[in-house]
Amino acid sequence: MEPSPGSRDARPGVAPVAAVLPAGGSGERLGGATPKQFCAVQGRPLVSYTVRAMERISWIADIIVVVSPENIEIMKSIIERYGHKRVTIVKGGITRHRSIFNGLKVFAENEFSNHLQKPEVVIIHDAVRPFVEEDILSKVVMAAKEHGAAGAIRPLVSTVIASAADGCLDHSLERARYRASEMPQAFLFDIIYEAYQQCTDYDLDYGTECLHLALKYCKTNAKLVEGTADLWKVTYKRDLYAAESIIKDNLSQQVCVITDVNEAVAQVGFLLHECLKSQIKVHLDISENISFSIGMEELTRIKKFAREVKKKNILVYGLLIQYKDNLLLQETVNSAAALIMALIKDRNPELIGQLLVA
């Protein structure tokens, strides 16, 4: 187990909440050589999106990522490349429950106590569920503080049926009475850790439901919290395409237009704002401290900056809006808006640092 470089610097003085992200799966159902948590989505490993979702939340003090031994170096490189903070890598076990147990042990065993503080509440969340938001995390944490355990649920999409020994229908469940158990889940740390200490090898090898362990061994009946539609788990190859689509859509929600106070330039900014606002959220910033000039030196600086930030999956493009006739200004701005939308939605890495002309 190792903390990432600089992870302790970002850590708050107290640690009421921590997160454990099991990321040790082999990805057999995905059908590829690369485990799904390390598959690139828009050029960035899936697990990195999930870690980023957690580290954006200031009240999560520590993030434990549990990976199989052969993938520890890969996970270290991801943390370093994307600058993740407050992250500790832990070696996983041969099953999901054994991996989660390993992640919990780092808070309880003396050999790790020098830099990790035992949390009051621990969140357990799959590393391949990258779209978790602060609202649902807050809800399960607050419910866990009150009830000892809590988990997100969703309505069943399909009816669950049971087959008889001859392969024919035995019975079906009344779908309205049942829910799908999702992540995130949250627990008072002492409850879930005690449950794992007591559970059998059979539980560790064949069990899947953490909430069930808390009920079975600690008599803690979890509070069920209605989750959102974006809590689904990337399981099959088609899910990677869906995740890519969602990430692209999220990236294309906002744009910032910066202009100086020059009346003509400011007019372009306002017109661009009007063209784009029906499709994305536009922030218009008019500043006296901005000056615009395009020469070889500026182009070289844009290209260098674009190459540097590409390492963090940020794509920077240049767009020159030029016009000579005010009568053609709206047409020019319309062309610029179309280019901006295409760049944001397609995220074409081949065009980063290039100067496009509207």
Kindly list the averaged pLDDT for each block of 10 residues, start to end, along the chain of length 358: 48 69 69 76 90 94 95 95 93 94 89 74 95 94 97 90 91 87 96 96 92 96 92 83 77 64 73 79 66 72 85 78 80 88 80 84
Q: What is the pLDDT of residue 12?
A: 37
d(CA 104, CA 196): 9
Q: Of the CATH numbers 3.40.50.300, 3.50.50.60, 3.40.50.12280, 3.90.550.10, which one belongs to the domain with range 2-248?
A: 3.90.550.10
Residue 303 CA: distances (Å) to CA of 39, 155, 232: 27, 48, 38
Q: What is the pLDDT of residue 357?
A: 83
d(CA 203, CA 213): 8
Topology given in CATH for the domain delimited by 252-357: Rossmann fold (3.40.50)
Q: What is the pLDDT of residue 7?
A: 45
The length of the chain is: 358
Summarised one tens digit per residue, pLDDT across range 182-204 is 999 999 999 999 999 999 999 99
d(CA 341, CA 337): 6
Count of C-beta atoms within a 10 Å radius of residue 299: 14
Q: What is the pLDDT of residue 8?
A: 42
Measure the CA angle with vertex 224, ends 220 and 226; round to 5°. 165
Q: What is the pLDDT of residue 11?
A: 39
d(CA 176, CA 178): 6
For the chain, domain boundaries:
2-248, 252-357
Measure the CA angle with vertex 48, ends 235 and 340; round to 5°. 100
Q: What is the pLDDT of residue 5?
A: 47
Q: Where are the alpha helices (DSSP H) in the chain?
A: 46-55, 72-82, 96-108, 134-147, 189-198, 201-206, 210-218, 237-251, 263-276, 296-310, 329-346
d(CA 86, CA 89): 10
Antiparallel, parallel or unpaired: β 121-124 and 179-188: antiparallel
Q: What is the pLDDT of residue 24?
A: 80
Measure the CA angle with vertex 49, ends 111 and 233; round to 5°. 95
The three-state secondary structure class of 185 is: strand
Note the pTM of the prediction, 2 decimals. 0.71
Q: Given 3-state DSSP classes, what are the helix, strand and coil percentages for the chain, each rounded to the nearest 5? A: 45, 20, 35
Q: DSSP code of 59?
A: T
d(CA 104, CA 309): 35
* Phi/psi of residue 15, nearest 5 degrees: -125, 75
Q: What is the pLDDT of residue 307?
A: 86
The three-state secondary structure class of 130 is: coil
For residue 289, with 0-12 CB atoms within 10 Å meaning exposed, 13-18 middle and 19 or more buried, which class applies?
Answer: exposed
